[in-house]
Structure 1
Amino acid sequence: MIEARQLTKRYGDKTAVDGVDFTVRPGAVTGFLGPNGAGKSTTMRMIIGLDAPTAGTVTVNGRRYAEHSAPLHEVGALLEARSIHPGRSAFDHLMVLAHTHGIGRARVTEVIEMTGLQAVARKRAGAFSLGMGQRLGIAAALLGDPQTIMLDEPVNGLDPEGVLWIRTLLTGLAAEGRTVFVSSHLMSEMALVADHLIVVGRGRVLADTTVQELVLQAGGDTVDVTTDDPAGLRRVLTGPGVEISGRPGSEQLSVTGLPARAIGLAAARHGIALFELTARTVSLEEAFMELTKDSVEYHAANTLVGAA
C-alpha cells in the first residue's frame, strides 16, 4: 500500500506537488494520470526516496522507503528504464541488484524468463532497443518479489505482443493481492487494465475514482436524436437523471441518462417521428481531456506545417 498525506514538493518558486493526498491499495491496478508537468514523476520519485518532500509524508507498506531494511522486497520501481550501465549485460545488471539483498541466482534467471529476456540476457544493455530496455527495467522491479510495484510508462517502446504481455502482467500482479501503481499517457491501456484512477494536474489531485465513474461524470453514454418535434421529445424524455441538450431551432438533441432503446420506445408511444438515433460512449481519453483542460501546462501551437 502507498499512502500520501499532504505531500508537497517545491523547487524554488515552483510547486511541483501541492498537498497531495491519496491511497494506492493492494489487489488493484491504480492508474496515475495527468498532463506533462502535472507532478507525476516528482510524486513517484518521492515515494522511493529519490526526492525529499518539502512537506507532508509518503509511505510504502506503512514506512518511508528509507526505513525499509530490504526495500527491493517491499517496492519494485521502474522510473527510468535506461538508468543502467551500458557495458553491463542484462544478467550482470540484475545480479548486481540481487547481491544487495541476498537474492539468489535462481531468482535472477526466473525474472529474465518472466520478462522474455532469455535471448539477450548475456548481451550488453547499452545495445538494447527501447522495448528490451523496458523489459530489463521491469525485471529489476520484480526482482525482489515485492508486494508493491510502481511503473512509469511501462509500455514505452514495446511492440503489440509486449503491450499485451504488460497488460496481462499488471492484472496478474493485482490478482495476487499486490499493490500496482502505473503512470501512463496511453488512455486506451488504462481503460483496459486500471481498476482505480488518480488524476493530477498542476500538482494537485483532480480525481480519485474509477474509470467508469470518471467517464460517467464526463457524460457517460450519450444518444444523439434527430426529430421533427424536439420540444415534444424533450417533454416525453424529461425525468430524474436525464439531461437533454440541443441548440435552439435545431432538430437534433443530445440525451444522457437514457439508452437509445428507451428513447425510441418513448417516442413511438407518443407518435413522435425520429430520423436518427445514434448512441455514442465517452472514452476515457475524452473524459481525461475534459477533466484536465484547465491544468495543461504545455500547449501545442495550432499551426499546419507547410500551410500558406
Structure 2
Amino acid sequence: MIRAEQLTKRYGGRTVVQDLSFTVRPGSVTGFLGPNGAGKSTTLRMLLGLDAPTRGRATLAGRRYADHPAPLTQVGALLEARSLHPGRSARNHLTALALTHGIPRSRVDQVLDLAGLTEVADRRVKGFSLGMGQRLGIAAALLGDPAAVVLDEPVNGLDPEGVLWIRTLLKSLAAEGRTVLVSSHLMSEMALTADHLVVIGKGRLLADTTVTALVREAGGTTVKVVTPDAGRLRALLPTTARITADAPDTLHVTGLDAAEIGRTAAAHGLPLYELTPQTASLEQAFMDLTHDSVEYQGAEPQRAGHPGAAHQGAAHQGAAA
C-alpha cells in the first residue's frame, strides 16, 4: 500500500504540492493524473524519497522509502527511463542493480525476457531507442519482484505492441495483488488500464475515485442532436446547458437529457434527424475537472468555412476568462 498524508512541498515562496492525501491500495491499477504543472512528478519524487516534503508524510508498505533495507524488493519505480550509464549494456545495468540488493543473476534474465530485451541484452544502452529505454526502465522496476510498482509515463515512446504489452503487464501485476500507481497523460490508455484514479491540479487533490464515477460525475452525458434548424434550437434551449457545434446541423448538448431537448424541438415544430445520448469520455471528464488548473490554455480552433467560427471562438475565450 502507498499512502500520502498531507504532503506539501514548497520551493521558496512557491507551493507545488498542497496538503495532498490519498491511498493507493493493492489489487488494482491506480492512475495518477493531472495537467502539466499539477505537481505529479514532485509527488512521485516525495513518495520515493527523492524530494523531502516541506510537511506531511509518504509511506510505502508502512515505511518511508529510505527506511526499507532493500527498497527494490518493496517498490519498483520508473521516473526517468533515460537515467542510465550510456556505456553499460542492458544486462550489466540490471546486474549492477541486482548486486546491490542481493538479487540473483537469474532474475536479471527473467526481467530481460519479460521486457522483450533478451536479444539486445548485451548492447550498450546509448544505442537504445526511446521505447527500448522505457522497456529497460520497466525491467529495472520489476527486478526485485516488488509488492508495489510506481511508473511515470510508462508508455512514452512505445509502439502499439509495446503499449498493449504494458497495459497487459500492469493489469497482471494488479491481479497478483500488487499495488500499482501509474502516471500518464494518455487518457485513452488510462480508460483501458486504470481501475481507480487520483487526479490533482495545482498541487491539490481534485478527485480520488473510480474511472466510471469520474466520467459520470465530472463528464456527465452529452446528447448529440442533428437538425436542419440547429441555430433556432440552440436559441431555444436553456442558457444553463453547455452547447457546442462541430457541423452546421449538429449540436452537442450537456446539461439536458434527450427527452428535454426532444420536447423543446417538438413544441416549436423543429425536425430532429438524430437525438443520441453519448456518455462522456475519460478525456472529456478530465478536461472538465481540471479546466481551472491548466497552466496554459489555447484558443479554440476555428473551423474553416464556418461562418460563425470567429464569433464562437471569441465567445468561448471570453467565457473562459
Which residue pairs with 1:27 in the alignment? 27
Alignment of 1:9-48 (within 5 A): 9-48=9-48
Question: Matched residue of 1:83: which SS?
Answer: coil
Closer, same or farther: CA 119–300 of 1 in aligned 2, 3 Å: farther
The whole-number CA distance in structure 1 between the counterparts of 2:9 and 2:104 is 37
The whole-number CA distance in structure 1 between the counterparts of 2:286 and 2:254 is 21
The whole-number CA distance in structure 1 between the counterparts of 2:30 and 2:222 is 27
User: Could you report, residue by residue, the CA deviation over 1:28-52 in whole angstroms, capped at 9, with x for unpaired residues?
Assistant: 0000001111100000011111111
Closer, same or farther: CA 212–98 of 1 in aligned 2, 3 Å: same
User: Could you report, residue by residue, the CA deviation over 1:77-117 in whole angstroms, capped at 9, with x for unpaired residues?
Assistant: 00000111000000000000000111111100000000000
Closer, same or farther: CA 188–252 of 1 in aligned 2, 3 Å: closer
Alignment of 1:35-114 (within 5 A): 35-114=35-114
User: Could you report, residue by residue, the CA deviation over 1:191-250 in whole angstroms, capped at 9, with x for unpaired residues?
Assistant: 0000001111111111111111111123433223468998xxx9xxxxxxxx97779xxx
Which residue pairs with 2:195 in the alignment? 195
Which residue pairs with 2:276 in the alignment? 278
Letter in 1 for 2:26: P
Which residue pairs with 2:173 in the alignment? 173
Q: Which runs of 4+ in 1 moved over 4 A?
A: 225-230, 243-247, 255-260, 271-274, 300-304
The whole-number CA distance in structure 2 between the counterparts of 1:246 and 1:180 is 38
Q: Return the TM-score normalized by structure 1.
A: 0.84
Which residue pairs with 1:8 in the alignment? 8
| Paired residues of 1:244 and 1:253 also in contact (CA < 8 A) | no
| Paired residues of 1:33 and 1:198 also in contact (CA < 8 A) | yes
Which residue pairs with 1:237 in the alignment? none
Q: Give the CA deviation at 1:279.
A: 2.9
Letter in 2 for 1:276: E
Letter in 2 for 1:118: T
Question: Matched residue of 1:173: which SS?
Answer: helix
Question: Matched residue of 1:290: which SS?
Answer: helix
The whole-number CA distance in structure 2 between the counterparts of 1:183 and 1:174 is 15
Closer, same or farther: CA 7–226 of 1 in aligned 2, 3 Å: same
Closer, same or farther: CA 253–77 of 1 in aligned 2, 3 Å: closer
| Paired residues of 1:225 and 1:255 also in contact (CA < 8 A) | no
| Paired residues of 2:3 and 2:58 also in contact (CA < 8 A) | yes
| Paired residues of 1:16 and 1:202 also in contact (CA < 8 A) | yes
Q: Give the CA deviation at 1:67.
A: 0.8
Which residue pairs with 1:125 in the alignment? 125
The whole-number CA distance in structure 2 between the counterparts of 1:54 and 1:285 is 32
Q: Give the CA deviation at 1:256.
A: 6.1
Q: Give the CA deviation at 1:171.
A: 0.5
The whole-number CA distance in structure 2 between the counterparts of 1:103 and 1:253 is 56
Letter in 1 for 2:61: N
Which residue pairs with 1:238 in the alignment? none
Q: Return the TM-score normalized by structure 2.
A: 0.81
Count of residues paired in the alignment: 290
* 1:214 maps to 2:223: no
| Paired residues of 2:72 and 2:144 also in contact (CA < 8 A) | yes
Closer, same or farther: CA 292–70 of 1 in aligned 2, 3 Å: same
